[in-house]
Chains A and B, each alone.
Chain A
Amino acid sequence: MLRESSNAAENEIDLHDITEGYRHDTDIAHAELLMGFAEAVARRDENGTSAHRQKMLELMGEPATVDAAAIAAAFHGFVRLADAIGIPYEGAAGGTDSTEMRDEIGISDFYRAQNV
């Protein structure tokens, strides 16, 4: 979805950012800030979340901050649904993710990929 939406918006992305964290090659606006917020929320880091939220409010505004929190929340639900029901990976992202891409950016090293 990230790749497809970035292609549609003509944004450059480095998919390694997803598995390794922001590395400056992605040109999505405020990508570093949004990824930092996502990481702080995922780690339930109150101070980090608060600091990123304040920065988002300053740079992106309140509606964007609320929507960023909503997206972060949604994906904390989706991962639990997918991982607890054991749905197959095949077909994710409309079936467009290749084995080569998964290997290259490290998704194939995830625990479940190694323990099926």
Chain B
Amino acid sequence: MAGNPFPDSPYDIRSDLLSAHEAALTVIARPGTWLTGEQRVWIAEEVRNARNCPACAELREALSPDNLSLEHTSLGNLSPAQVDIVHRVVTDPGRLSEGWCRRHIDDGMLEGEFVEMIGVIAMTVITDTFAFGLGLPEAVLPGPAAGEPSRYLPPGARREAAWLPIVEPGDEVPEDGPLYPTPTAGYIHRALSMVPQSKRDYWNLAGAHYLEGKQVYDFGDSGRAISRPQIEIIAARISALHQCLY
């Protein structure tokens, strides 16, 4: 495991939250299903770099970002397509489109690779945003672990409801590993299901920050130091500021 990511924090951070951060940093550096550990660490590093990309700043101001072709300022480790995905998802997520997504797939990116990238990006954004919110330095990314991606493709994954394939509840097979706590899991739970390990890694981190699955539809005790309506007013305002329909 990566060590305490916030060793100099003046705050008493919940132990489950700290453990989730440690686990997230560890898995980011491990070989995934479609990406090596090295590629996954490069993606996390590019997430941090994207925030200062001049092309992204220009794209954010554009009326229609899909009609502009600008060169991102990257760290130079990822392919141009990977860089574009990282930068657009980090800096302007509310204006992504199915056309943008499918162009990357049509140009040769594997759907599983795309989905796994989104998992790494989202996990890095969570860890860094938590640090930013508390005024702490971003956690040091661990060095990549050696090994090959498993390239496991769930047989139940199909593209129907979303831009990329998902495994609907009921279509899982034992080889996928645990995917859903209930057959009514919402689409946000299904989003990364094409790459089951990415889904589990993401939700291990996200659940510790928001609510664990079984708590989401229990509007009584939030189990947190702020009330459920306080949780949801932060959540809703952030979603709106990102123009997120969901």
List chain A positions with a Cβ less than 8 A from chain B.
1-2, 4-9, 11, 13, 17-19, 21, 26, 28-31, 34-35, 37-39, 41-44, 46, 49-50, 53, 60-89, 91-92, 94, 107, 110-113, 115-116
* 6 shortest interchain CB distances as A-B pairs: A86-B163, A69-B133, A63-B225, A74-B209, A8-B219, A73-B130
0 or 1 for each of B218-233: is its CB under 8 Å from A? (1 = yes)? 0110001111111111
- Number of A-B pairs whose CB atoms are under 8 Å? 270
- Give bound CA distance, A85 to B126, whole Å: 17
Of A43, A77, A112, chain B has the most CB atoms within 10 Å of the CB of A77
- Name 27 A/B residue pairs within 8 A (Cβ), A-sorted: A13-B233, A18-B239, A31-B230, A38-B237, A39-B241, A49-B133, A53-B135, A62-B11, A66-B134, A67-B224, A67-B226, A71-B231, A73-B126, A73-B130, A77-B129, A79-B94, A81-B119, A81-B122, A81-B188, A82-B188, A83-B93, A83-B244, A86-B96, A86-B162, A86-B163, A87-B162, A110-B245
Residues of A contacting B186 with CB < 8 Å? 91-92, 94
Cα–Cα distance between A53 and B164 once the two chains are bound (Å): 38
> Could you tell me if B123 and A77 are in contact, using CB atoms closer than 8 angstroms?
yes
CB distance from A97 to the nearest CB of B (A): 9
With a cutoff of 8 Å between Cβ atoms, the chain B residues found around residue A72 in the complex are 129-130, 133, 234, 238
Q: Does B2 contact A (CB under 8 A)?
A: no
Bits for B79-120, please: 1 = Cβ < 8 Å to A, else 0: 000000100011001111110010000000000000100110
- The reply to whether B233 and A83 form a contact with Cβ atoms under 8 Å apart is no
